[in-house]
Structure 1
Amino acid sequence: MPSSPHSPRVDDASVRWSIPRGSVASELKHRPLLLMLHGYGSHEMDLFGLAEFLPDEFVVASLRGLIPAGSGFAWFPLEWDAQTNELRRDVDDVNESARVLLSWLDDLDAEVGGLHGVTLLGFSQGGAMAIQMLRHAPERCDAAVVLASFATPDSSDGASERDAALAEASVPVFWGRDPHDPVITNELIAYTRRWLPEHSNLDARLYANVGHGISMEEIEDVRDFLESVTRL
């Protein structure tokens, strides 16, 4: 699934692995991959600390965002809409970044000689990326965890066909959030509440007083979810 010549690429040198890089190919032949995708303006170390609380069977790869954003990185650009006082995103950028990440998975799959399984875990913008990757390749992923996040409205070419294929695949998705998250807009939450149940095998959870963050209770629920739906 090649990206265009001018697309951003995954910086392989920045990928944070839970095992030595030299052991990745042999370990991923029989252990599932957990791919971590951080939020806007953050970096590959942000979610990596969660790995110690998640099933040991996973090989964890935490990626760095594809483009610079403030003091960190992002998966796709955001622009401020002065009329609505909201951040906006171009779904074409979201789709292109999903293709770039899936191309990286293709390369890893070729290196390994066949991945044992792939689960996605994303926070905020990283969760939106995880959902978009599912839309493009539902057959590639065993499950996805999206935290304090949302699905991106997508009316681009082929979107309805991709969404139909995703609905048919019924991939298990864990969606955890604070009902009063101060960052994700009501519009995006309303869309995601309609869209996710129709396009996944959804486990939706609410966590009070977390804000735009993650609680230990939520992490424990994520661990239980991963143990129940992935090939461990």
Structure 2
Amino acid sequence: MSLALDADAVIWSASEADREGRPLLVLMHGFGSHEGDLFGLAPSLPLEPVIAAVRAPLAAPWPLDGWAWFPRDEQSSPQASDVNAAADAVIDWLDGLSVTPTSVGLMGFSQGGAMVVQLMRRSPERFDYGVVMSGFVTEGEEPGDLTLEESRPPIFWGRGTHDEVIPESAIVRTTDWLPSHSTLSGRIYEGLGHGINQQAAADIRVFIERQLTHDS
């Protein structure tokens, strides 16, 4: 299966002329949502990177009026072919950008968080860091896993104690995988459900600023 992102649906924080010589932060929303969702966090994020909020390539099923990276019945254990098709669509979109960023970071929520890790597994040399909120690591092995074991890129993983959307099996799998494949910054938010609160947004900002400082 081949998928493609809608380049016209991307929400940018800067005009094309203002993207030259700047890092890029790609935002990926959750199931049944849209590109405007995480873009609402832009005022809470660092000013240095250009932000691009992308739309997932699959239409979510009725009655949801949104988009998905992979089918909902695969929410915590997507088929490798499905999640990799979505990851490759993001990579193809990046390859087609008219302005080459100085670095690329990823941030995603829920399914979008799973996409963050899958993209880093799919193309480990391309991405500098990842932010995974209420997300998880998919099952199986990927060609880039060995590279990640050596390079240990910075990943922030945040989740709420009251998140009832992501099953325990996916949490356990992620807890086992991330420490050996990343330089992990983990945070569990007491009382938070399947979402992002103000404290998480502040922690994400600090994490991203730290990565930008290291890159400079």
Q: TM-score over 0.5 for the alignment? A: yes
Superposition RMSD in Å: 1.5
TM-score under structure 1 length normalisation: 0.86
Distance across 2 between alignment mates of 1:190 and 1:197: 12
Residue 53 (structure 1) aligned to one of 44, 63, 81: 44
**Residue 152 of structure 1: aligned partner:** 138
TM value normalised by structure 2: 0.93
Q: CA deviation at 1:197?
A: 0.6
- Measured after TM superposition, the shift of residue 88 of structure 1 is 4.7
Say if 2:134 and 2:160, in contact at 8 Å, map to a contact too.
yes
Instruction: Output the amino acid matched with 2:173.
Output: Y
- Measured at CA, do residues 87 and 207 of structure 1 come closer, stay the same or move farther in structure 2, by a change above 3 Å? closer
1:67-126 CA-to-partner distances (Å, cap 9, x unmatched) read 00031000111327xxxxx86521210011111111111111xx22x3211110000000
> Does 2:65 correspond to 1:79?
no
1:137 paired residue among 115, 118, 123: 123
> Deviations along 1:6-63, whole A, 9 cap, x unmatched?
622110111111123xxx2x43331111100000000000000101011111111000
Whole-angstrom CA distance in 1 between matches of 2:85 and 2:147: 19
Name the residue aligned to 1:83. none
SS at match of 1:139: coil
Are 1:9 and 2:1 matched, yes or no? no
Query: Which ranges of structure 1 fall in alignment gaps of 5 or more residues?
Result: 1-5, 81-85
Structure 2 unmatched runs, 5+: none
What's the counterpart of residue 219 of structure 1?
201
Distance 1:13 1:67 in 2: 15
Greater Rg over alpha carbons, structure: 1
Which whole-Å CA distance do the structure 1 matches of 2:132 and 2:12 have between them?
20
Q: 1:144 to 1:97 in 2, by over 3 A?
A: same
Partner of 1:101: 90
Taking the TM superposition and a 5 Å limit, the aligned residue runs for 1:6-45 are 7-20=2-15, 24=16, 26-45=17-36
Structure 1's 229 and 171: CA in aligned 2 closer, same or farther, altered over 3 A?
Answer: same
SS in 2 for 1:193: helix
The runs of 4+ residues in structure 1 deviating greater than 6 Å are none
CA deviation string 1:127-173 (max 9, x = no partner)? 00011000011111111000011010124xxx2x4211122121100
Q: How many percent identity over aligned positions?
A: 44
The number of equivalent residue pairs is 211
| CA distance 1:212–1:31, change in 2 (3 Å) | same
Alpha carbons 2:59, 2:67 under 8 Å: kept: yes
